[in-house]
Amino acid sequence: FLNMWLFAGAAIFYHTLSPFCNAAGLCTPITYPMAMYYSVQCGLSVGFGLLIERNGGPRWYTIFHGFVGVTVMAAALTLFLLRPGGRLVKQISGEEGEGASKPTSTFQRVVRLVPWPIVSLVLLFSTIVTFRCLYNHWSFTDGVYFTFFALSTGGLLSPGSVSDVQMLFCTFALVVGIPLFGSVMARAVDLSLDKHVQAVRSSERRQKKFHYLERKGWQSQAATVAEAYEKAAAAAALAD
C-alpha cells in the first residue's frame, strides 16, 4: 500500500508541480525523480520546501497526501508497540518470560545481542552524510544537520539541487531512513514502557508481600492471645 500510494502521488505531482527556478532565474522542468522525491518528502511529512505546486488547487491533494502519510506512520508505530508477542503486550497480559525460546547456536546469540535497527540506522546515517559532503561539497556539520532533520521529518535544510541523482538518492534515503528511524524510536519507547511496567509490577509485588506479612502478624498475635487465654483458663481450673 505504501509503495502504491507514493507512486500514485508522484504521478499526480508530476503534472501539478511548478518548474524549479534557481536564484539566477534558470528554470528546470519537473522530472519524474523530482515528482517521486516530492511525493515521499510530502507524504512522510518532511517538508523541505524545495518544490511547490503550480497553483492553489493541487495543494488540496497535497494536504490529503500528507494526511495519509501521518496516519500510516501513526498506525505503524501503534502496531509495532502492540504487536503480538511484543514485550509490552506480554507484560501487560502477565506472560513475560513464558515461552521464550533460548538461542541454540552462536549465530543466534549474536543476532539477539546485536541491536540491528540501531546498527542499520548508523550505517544509513553515515552514508547520507558522506554523500552530502562529497556530492554537494557540504561541511560535515551541514551533512549531519541535514541527515538528522531529514530522517526525523524536521526538514530544516533542503537537498540543495534538483538533479536526478540528488532526487533519487533523497527518495531512497527517506523511504528507508524514516521508517528505520521510527523503528529505533519505537524501540526506545518500548524499553521505557518496559521499565515503567516492571516498576509497577515490582510495587505490586512489594504491596502483596507487605499484606501477607501483615496478615501473618495478625494471625501470630491472635494465636498468642488464644494460647494465653487457654493457659489462664487451665490455671483457673486447677485453682478451683
At residue 56, the pLDDT reads 75
pLDDT on residue 27: 86
Q: What is the pLDDT of residues 162-212, one digit of tens each?
A: 889 999 999 999 888 988 888 888 777 767 766 666 666 666 676 676 666
Whole-angstrom distance, CA of residue 163 vs CA of residue 51: 13
Alpha-carbon torsion (182, 184, 190, 193), positive or negative: negative
Q: For residue 202, what is its C-alpha cell?
A: 515490582
CB 157 within 8 A of CB 149: yes
At residue 66, the pLDDT reads 85
Residue 156: strand, helix, or coil? coil
Length of the chain: 240
**C-alpha closest to that of 184 among 105, 96, 119, 98:** 119
Contact 128, 147 (CB under 8 A): yes
E-assigned strand segments in the chain? 20-21, 27-28
From the first residue on, what is the mean pLDDT of each consecutive set of 10 residues in the chain (240 residues)? 82 89 83 90 80 82 86 76 61 54 57 73 94 92 92 83 89 89 78 65 67 63 66 68
The percentage of residues in the chain with a pLDDT greater than 90, rounded to a whole number, is 16
Estimate to the nearest angstrom the gap between the alpha carbon of 80 and the chain centroid.
8
Rounded to whole angstroms, the Cα distance separating 46 from 178 reads 9
pTM (2 d.p.): 0.65
**What pLDDT is attached to residue 200?**
62
Which letter, b or e, does each residue of 214-227 get, where b requires 16 or more Cβ atoms within 10 Å of its Cβ? eeeeeeeeeeeeee
Q: 28: which DSSP letter?
A: E
* DSSP category for residue 105: S
